[in-house]
Amino acid sequence: MNHLRAVPGADDTASCPTRTYGSATTVRVEAPGKINLFLSAGAPGADGYHPLTTVFQAVRLIETVTARSQSHAAHGSITLSLEKNADGVPADSSNLAVRAARLLADATGVTDGVDLTIRKRIPVAGGMAGGSADAAATLTACNVLWGTELSPDELRDLAAQLGADVPFPLMGATAVGHGRGDQLTPLMTRGRYLWVLAFAAHGGLSTPAVFRRFDELVETRASLAGAAPAEVPERMTSALRTRDARGLAATLHNDLQEAAVSLRPELAEVMAIAESAGALRAIVSGSGPTVAALVPDARVATHVARALAASGLVRDTARVDGPVAGVRMVG
Ligand code: C5P
């Protein structure tokens, strides 16, 4: 990628859609969460990563990152404030959003700092790539705030360095992921799909821990060891092309589900409750523990959300639709 150097100048902000409040300039960017409609994992490579075939759908559970320029007195620091739902999120330099701003600054030679504020809606360590959405939104916001003007391809390269799930929220909609899940190809779909999300009562699951459990489970079935990931079934892409929610339900698949359920056995009951209440199908989202229940309409969504709330097995539920767009500037 090009290593572009920002040249701060009086008219920098004139070409950028930023808002100026007194001496401060603010850029606000939203990024969506994701559900994996399909996830097949192969045996891990030398780098410890599992080769994946996955289908991401961006859903209307939206993170908001606000980036504000600093006075010179701040000496180019990157600061972070977390607005809500952020229990368990580090507010220091290990936060993926702070690492995103630092990576962009280092890649472009920017020495300005930034004050970041994140409003979280995606559950922390929930299998919906909330931290990745924050990082994607931060790259986008700082690229505007600092006038660094990296291209979408350059931003995507930086995103992939931050984590396997970071490139997808830049793109949004529906996409097939290969490699670590970060090599994306957009997938044409029609229609809008409704989901009820069940947020786990007992905190998040660590993605590496779920992949480790997946490896242990695979080892017990020697025939699958060393296997390459499966391809996306044609029945799924055709269901997505023809607004066929029932066809989509029949092909939803997540190789990590068994591992997530073995670490959190109550997830099996959560999925069963959603399906008895009328969901077309319920699956674990990514590495979990969020459960995503595909529903045929708003009435069933209400039934499913009520049944899940009454079970006492979930912290909260949300009704969302997808696909939705990737990162976008707001305000
Ligand atoms: O890339 P990211 O930091 O999000 O990945 C977190 C962890 O999840 C990795 O360190 C790895 O243990 C696991 N992972 C994997 N295979 C992938 C993606 C993630 O094993 N394709």
pLDDT one-digit tens code per residue, 74-120: 678 999 999 976 778 888 889 999 999 999 999 999 998 999 999 99
- The pLDDT value recorded for residue 226 is 59
Q: Are 325 and 172 in contact (CB under 8 A)?
A: yes
Instruction: Please identify, by atom number, the ligand 1 atom nearest to the C-alpha of residue 163.
Output: 1
Catalytic position from the list 112, 120, 134, 165: 165
How far is it, in rounded angstroms, from Cα 37 to Cα 236? 9
In the residue annotation, 106 being an active-site residue is answered as no
Q: What is the pLDDT of residues 130-148, one digit of tens each?
A: 999 999 999 999 999 999 9
Phi, psi of 287 (to 5 degrees): -90, 5
- The pLDDT value recorded for residue 72 is 64
Q: How many residues are recorded in the chain?
A: 331
Q: How remote is the CA of residue 14 from the centroid of ligand 1, in Å?
A: 40
Q: What is the pLDDT of residues 144-170, one digit of tens each?
A: 999 999 999 999 999 999 999 999 999
The dihedral built from the CA positions of residue 313, 318, 324 and 325, taken in this order, carries a sign that is: negative
In the chain, what are the domains?
Answer: 26-188 (3.30.230.10), 193-322 (3.30.70.890)
Q: How remote is the CA of residue 164 from the centroid of ligand 1, in Å?
A: 7
> Does 133 carry a binding-site annotation?
yes
How far is it, in rounded angstroms, from Cα 324 to Cα 62? 10
* pLDDT tops 70 at residue 12: no
pLDDT grade, residue 7 (50/70/90)?
very low
Q: Tell me the best of 49, 124, 132 to mutate to test the pocket of ligand 1, counting ligand atoms within 8 Å of each CB and taking the most.
A: 49
In the residue annotation, 84 being an active-site residue is answered as no
Q: How remote is the CA of residue 128 from the centroid of ligand 1, in Å?
A: 14
Summary mean pLDDT of the chain:
91
Helix or strand run (H / E) with residue 260: helix 257-263
The dihedral built from the CA positions of residue 159, 205, 284 and 62, taken in this order, carries a sign that is: negative
Q: Tell me the best of 205, 211, 217, 256 to mutate to test the pocket of ligand 1, counting ligand atoms within 8 Å of each CB and taking the most.
A: 211
Report the nearest-CA residue for atom 12 of ligand 1: 208
Q: Are 317 and 308 in contact (CB under 8 A)?
A: yes
Q: How remote is the CA of residue 15 from the centroid of ligand 1, in Å?
A: 38
- The pLDDT value recorded for residue 14 is 35
Residues whose CB is less than 8 angstroms from the CB of residue 238 and which lie 6 or more positions away in sequence, other chains included: 244, 247
Q: How remote is the CA of residue 325 from the centroid of ligand 1, in Å?
A: 24
Report the nearest-CA residue for atom 15 of ligand 1: 49
- The pLDDT value recorded for residue 223 is 57
In this structure, how many other beta carbons lie within 10 angstroms of the beta carbon of residue 262? 15
* pLDDT tops 50 at residue 4: no
Q: What is the pLDDT of residues 275-292, one digit of tens each?
A: 999 999 999 999 999 999
Ligand 1 neighbours (beta carbon < 6 A): 44, 48-50, 52, 163-165, 180-181, 207-208, 211
Q: What is the pLDDT of residues 202-239, one digit of tens each?
A: 889 999 999 999 999 988 876 555 589 999 999 999 99
Q: What is the pLDDT of residues 14-72, one digit of tens each?
A: 344 555 544 449 999 999 999 999 999 999 989 999 999 999 999 999 999 999 998 76
